[in-house]
């Protein structure tokens, strides 16, 4: 793919390594929406999932392979026949399919997880890569826990994987153990000692347990790696993966040092981050690099003074280069459809005419209730419109809730079921939200453990829209959702209902699953 030696391939694993982290699971509709947005963003490879994990995962990878044109579509597989065949079947309809085969190589994994000798690991790696190559031209191989693998053995496995036909070799820092100079030394060693490595793309995949994922990735790029594996907002197992927006902007901002480039349209980084955050319900920390709310806010007087005199005194990147508009265009109730359409498109959203009409109606209602409508308001309207269209089990038809000092708090709700029935019930509780959630539980017949609940203003004005975030635990898994309304109690009800819908969708998916978990230690022989 990359004929320019300085072109870095961006491999996005938001839908695989990212999606498997707590609170980040997505349904098919959401995965497709994210995959289309990743394509718009300009990623080169989308790792769409782990097809053997469940019928739902297989379907998602297959649908993305069929419908998202442009990037390579990749499916993950352990080094065994069933996984590899399933991954190959899921991606085969893509214009450019890839199978990513992995097998752990470190002494700890060999001894305690796989119970395999070095020879056995090499044999299986070779057989796995060959089996994938028999079906798909483009095969990536990952020696899992590479950064804790003995260097001589790592080099041997990698060389054998290349001989077997791997076209990309990925070196994962699976547990986030590496530090930049150590990780760079591994890449350097492999480049010097592995025969045939120049025929392959050398890839890096870092986890952020020590907060070093981006630093390690950059160190590896400096040594000649030319594929970065990353996720939007850095979501992923435990402390997450390399954040796409950070590593891409580091390459761009320090072009003078690295001399590298990517195919990413950086102006879509902020909208992409917001979209993922909205879809998963996982908020981005305020001070997160590149896409956090404070990433371009200058608070100190000295900094503000410097900025006014010359921006480059305190700004190394322009917010508009990552899709954050510097000047907020305030819209009001007299603003027309054209101005709204323009603003939505500037914010990075591509809506159909029907979606735009609906956003326009909600915008007019909002402008009646609120004097000025800001970008964040419009984003919230656009995002909630993009979620409509999924056939949710429950929707809010109406509610009342009463609260006051010394009085009993109660709430009543009317909910619409997917089959068209409207069901009503009421409950009391410790405050209006508790009462509301209890009334919703009574109607839907669910009883969820709320583990986190937050409300924040979308903008800073007094009549701002409120955004509610609800996280629940269900069968040991965490699910979350967000919703926005001018009324924070309504936003809370909407967010809670969204979580209930996610639980229902997950239950349907789980009923179809052959097993609950994918045991990493079970590695059936490659036949």
102 is a contact residue toward ligand KIV (CB under 6 A): yes
How many angstroms separate the CA atoms of 211 and 242, rounded?
9
Q: Where are the beta strands (DSSP E) in 121-248?
A: 138-144, 168-173, 201-206, 227-230
How many angstroms separate the CA atoms of 457 and 439, rounded?
25
Of these partners, Zn ion, ligand KIV, none, which one is at the site of residue 63 (CB under 5 to 8 Å by kind)?
none
Residue 102 Cβ, how far from ligand KIV at the closest point, in Å?
A: 4
Taking the least distance from each CB to ligand KIV, the nearer of 87 and 472 is 87
Residue 139 makes CB contacts below 8 A (sequence gap 6+) with: 98, 99, 100, 101, 129, 132, 133, 165, 166, 167, 168
Which residue has tokens 């191989």?
Answer: 141
Give the per-residue contact string, 137-166, with ligand KIV (x = CB under 6 A; - = no).
Answer: -----x-x----------------------
Residue 471 Cβ, how far from ligand KIV at the closest point, in Å?
A: 24
How many angstroms separate the CA atoms of 380 and 369, rounded?
16
Binding-site member from 14, 25, 168, 174 for ligand KIV (CB under 6 A): 174
Of these partners, Zn ion, ligand KIV, none, which one is at the site of residue 144 (CB under 5 to 8 Å by kind)?
ligand KIV
Taking the least distance from each CB to Zn ion, the nearer of 17 and 490 is 17
How many angstroms separate the CA atoms of 415 and 276, rounded?
27
User: Which of 276, 216, 208, 274 lies closest to 250 in space, CA to CA?
Assistant: 216
User: Which of 350, 237, 214, 375 lies closest to 293 in space, CA to CA?
Assistant: 375
17 is a contact residue toward ligand KIV (CB under 6 A): yes
205 is a contact residue toward ligand KIV (CB under 6 A): yes
Q: Which stretch binds Zn ion (CB under 5 A): 15-23, 104-112, 343-351, 431-439?
A: 15-23
Binding-site member from 12, 17, 83, 498 for Zn ion (CB under 5 A): 17
Taking the least distance from each CB to ligand KIV, the nearer of 204 and 356 is 204
14 is a contact residue toward ligand KIV (CB under 6 A): no
Site for Zn ion in 179-198 (CB under 5 A): none
How many angstroms separate the CA atoms of 179 and 147, rounded?
10
Taking the least distance from each CB to ligand KIV, the nearer of 75 and 429 is 75
Answer yes or no: are the C-beta atoms of 262 and 251 closer than 8 Å. Answer: yes
Residue 213 Cβ, how far from ligand KIV at the closest point, in Å?
A: 11
Answer yes or no: are the C-beta atoms of 135 and 165 closer than 8 Å. Answer: no
Residue 146 Cβ, how far from ligand KIV at the closest point, in Å?
A: 8
Binding-site member from 172, 234, 240, 348 for ligand KIV (CB under 6 A): 172
Taking the least distance from each CB to Zn ion, the nearer of 97 and 176 is 176
Beta-bridge partner residues of 99: 75, 139
Of these partners, ligand KIV, Zn ion, none, which one is at the site of residue 102 (CB under 5 to 8 Å by kind)?
ligand KIV
Q: How many residues bind ligand KIV (CB under 6 A)?
A: 9
Residue 101 Cβ, how far from ligand KIV at the closest point, in Å?
A: 9
Q: How many residues bind Zn ion (CB under 5 A)?
A: 1
Q: Which stretch binds ligand KIV (CB under 6 A): 151-159, 170-178, 181-189, 252-260?
A: 170-178
At 505, phi and psi to the nearest 5?
-65, -40
Residue 232 Cβ, how far from ligand KIV at the closest point, in Å?
A: 16
Distance of CA 253 to the CA centre of its chain: 23
Residue 200 Cβ, how far from Zn ion at the closest point, in Å?
A: 19
Structural element, H or E, at residue 479 = strand 477-485
Answer yes or no: are the C-beta atoms of 447 and 453 closer than 8 Å. Answer: no
Taking the least distance from each CB to Zn ion, the nearer of 239 and 330 is 239
Residue 393 Cβ, how far from ligand KIV at the closest point, in Å?
A: 33
Strand bridging mode 394-402 / 227-230: unpaired
User: Which of 35, 23, 24 lies closest to 59 in space, CA to CA?
Assistant: 35
How many angstroms separate the CA atoms of 231 and 240, rounded?
8
57 is a contact residue toward ligand KIV (CB under 6 A): no
| Interface with Zn ion (CB under 5 A) | 17
| Interface with ligand KIV (CB under 6 A) | 17, 102, 142, 144, 170, 172, 174, 205, 207
């Amino acid at each position: 793919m990359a004929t320019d030696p300085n072109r870095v391939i961006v491999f996005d694993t938001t839908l695989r390594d990212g999606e498997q982290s707590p609170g980040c699971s997505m349904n098919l509709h959401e995965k497709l929406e994210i995959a289309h947005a990743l394509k718009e963003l300009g990623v080169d490879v989308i790792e769409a999932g782990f097809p053997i994990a469940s019928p739902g995962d297989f379907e998602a990878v297959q649908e993305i392979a069929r419908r998202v044109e442009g990037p390579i579509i990749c499916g993950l597989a352990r080094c065994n026949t069933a996984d590899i065949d399933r991954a190959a079947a899921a991606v085969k309809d893509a214009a450019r399919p890839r199978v990513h085969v992995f097998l752990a190589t470190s002494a700890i994994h060999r001894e305690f997880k796989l119970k395999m000798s070095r020879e056995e690991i090499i044999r299986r790696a070779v057989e796995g890569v060959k089996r994938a190559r028999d079906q798909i031209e483009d095969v990536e191989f990952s020696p899992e826990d590479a950064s804790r693998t003995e260097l001589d053995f790592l080099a041997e496995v990698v060389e054998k994987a290349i001989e077997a036909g791997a076209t990309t070799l990925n070196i994962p820092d699976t547990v986030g153990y590496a530090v930049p100079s150590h990780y760079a030394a591994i890449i350097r060693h492999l480049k010097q000692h592995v025969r045939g490595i120049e025929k392959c793309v050398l890839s890096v995949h870092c986890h952020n347990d020590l907060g070093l994922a981006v630093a390690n990735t950059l160190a590896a790029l400096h040594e000649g790696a030319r594929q970065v594996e990353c996720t939007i907002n850095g979501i992923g197992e435990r402390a997450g993966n390399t954040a796409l927006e950070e590593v891409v902007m580091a390459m761009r901002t320090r072009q003078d040092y690295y001399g590298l480039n990517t195919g990413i349209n950086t102006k879509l980084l902020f909208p992409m981050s917001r979209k993922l955050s909205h879809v998963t319900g996982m908020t981005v920390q305020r001070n997160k690099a590149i896409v956090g709310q404070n990433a371009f806010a200058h608070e100190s007087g000295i900094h503000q003074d410097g900025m006014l005199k010359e921006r480059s005194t305190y700004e190394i990147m322009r917010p508009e280069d990552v899709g954050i508009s510097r000047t907020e265009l305030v819209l009001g109730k007299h603003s027309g459809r054209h101005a709204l359409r323009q603003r939505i498109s500037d914010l990075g959203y591509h809506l159909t005419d029907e979606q735009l009409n609906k956003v326009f109606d909600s915008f007019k209602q909002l402008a009646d209730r609120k004097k000025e409508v800001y970008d964040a308001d419009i984003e919230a309207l656009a995002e909630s419109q993009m979620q409509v269209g999924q056939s949710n089990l429950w929707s809010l038809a109406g509610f009342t809730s009463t609260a006051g000092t010394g009085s009993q708090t109660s709430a009543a709700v009317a909910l619409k079921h997917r089959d068209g029935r409207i069901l009503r019930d009421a409950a009391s509780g410790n405050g209006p939200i508790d009462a509301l959630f209890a009334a919703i539980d009574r109607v839907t017949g669910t009883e969820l453990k709320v583990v986190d609940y937050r409300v924040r203003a979308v903008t800073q004005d007094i009549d701002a829209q409120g955004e509610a975030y609800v996280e629940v635990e269900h069968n040991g898994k965490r699910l979350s959702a967000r919703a926005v309304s001018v009324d924070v109690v309504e936003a809370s009800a909407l967010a809670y209902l969204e979580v209930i819908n996610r639980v229902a969708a997950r239950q349907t998916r789980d009923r179809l699953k052959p097993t609950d978990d994918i045991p990493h230690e079970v590695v059936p022989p490659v036949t």
